[in-house]
Amino acid sequence: MPDAPPIQPSDIVSTIDDASVPITVKLRDLHKIYDSGANAVHAVRGLNVDIPEGQYISIMGASGSGKSTLLNVLGALDVPSKGTYHLAGKLTSKQTRDELAALRNEYIGFIFQNFNLLTRSTAVENVELPMVYAGVPTRKRRAAALAALDKVGLADRANHLPSEMSGGQQQRVAIARSLVNTPRVLLADEPTGNLDTHTSGEIMKILDELHTKDGLTIIIVTHDPGVAEFTERVIVLRDGRIIADQKTPRCGGPAVPDVRALSLSVPEN
């Protein structure tokens, strides 16, 4: 591919200042303690966050600050040790394992840094998988999976195994997989962490489109200020606490803080 012009965030179609938008994610005094025997790790310490529907938000922070922990709780993959998490008005701690599974299946899309594709299944089979658990009939499933792959520009790789694809391609398969059940919330844990700048740009473009065109709520964990600049709002964590929660420059906020610098500075609260 010849040198394309640097990919820029699209024009702001933001609801960030609209107070009437319903809250999708509501956290109150959220704690997560990993209790592995003698030494307990207090990974998240009392978060209070509201994320309105359709918001595009990034979570930043130094390594070990609790970003992944928070995202796993948001994705209903893990349960908080203390505090409440309401997703679309429902208290997740009240729900059974299988109700949470159904939530992950239908309401949430998850994208991982290391893709987490089934290595022995082809791209299209991977994309079909969420529909298998949603009980979609085989034929419909195949068509929808191919359409999703087409959407991320991988129609011609449908029958390839993950091992036969580049990292960027694998991540696009993962994005297609996260989208096939038309979720309302998309969670991405360092989706570009393993990719070069150009490929990152491609991935960010897809996410950006999902936000602007489909109005998805997107929560993205990143180290990269460049990635955070695509979003509307940035939350910065340090040692499991929020040290900054602000608009990004494109929505009129201050510059996205440099994570490495932050980890050295004294927390503000």
Ligand X SMILES: Nc1ncnc2c1ncn2[C@@H]1O[C@H](COP(=O)(O)OP(=O)(O)OP(=O)(O)O)[C@@H](O)[C@H]1O
Interacting residues with ligand X between 48 and 87 (CB under 6 A) = 61, 63-69
Give 247's strand partners: 233
Min separation Cβ 110 and ligand X, Å: 14
Distance CA 222, CA 227 (A): 7
> CA torsion, points 233, 234, 240, 243, in degrees to nearest 10?
-100
- Residue 102 binds which one of another protein, Mg ion, ligand X, none, with CB within 5 to 8 A depending on kind? another protein
Question: Total number of residues binding Mg ion (CB under 5 A)?
Answer: 1
Q: Does 41 bind ligand X (CB under 6 A)?
A: yes
Q: Judged by CB, which is closer to another protein: 64, or 253?
A: 64
Min separation Cβ 241 and ligand X, Å: 12
Interacting residues with Mg ion between 63 and 82 (CB under 5 A) = 68
Interacting residues with Mg ion between 170 and 209 (CB under 5 A) = none
Min separation Cβ 100 and another protein, Å: 9
Distance CA 128, CA 143 (A): 9
How many Cα atoms occupy the beta-carbon half-sphere of 182 within 13 Å? Answer: 5
Mutual orientation of helices 167-179 and 138-151 as an angle, nearest 10°?
130
- Residue 133 binds which one of another protein, ligand X, Mg ion, none, with CB within 5 to 8 A depending on kind? another protein
Q: Are 33 and 41 in contact (CB under 8 A)?
A: yes
Q: Judged by CB, which is closer to ligand X: 26, or 45?
A: 45
Q: Judged by CB, which is closer to another protein: 151, or 247?
A: 151
Min separation Cβ 244 and another protein, Å: 27
55: CB partners within 8 A, 6+ apart: 15, 16, 21, 24, 217, 218, 232, 233
Min separation Cβ 102 and another protein, Å: 7
- Residue 248 binds which one of ligand X, Mg ion, another protein, none, with CB within 5 to 8 A depending on kind? none
Min separation Cβ 176 and another protein, Å: 12
Q: Does 43 bind ligand X (CB under 6 A)?
A: yes
Which residues here bind another protein, judged by CB under 8 A?
72, 75, 77-78, 97-98, 101-106, 110, 112, 116-118, 120, 129-130, 132-138, 177-178, 181
Q: Judged by CB, which is closer to ligand X: 82, or 120?
A: 82
Footprint on this chain of Mg ion (rule: CB under 5 A): 68
Footprint on this chain of ligand X (rule: CB under 6 A): 34, 36, 41, 43, 61, 63-69
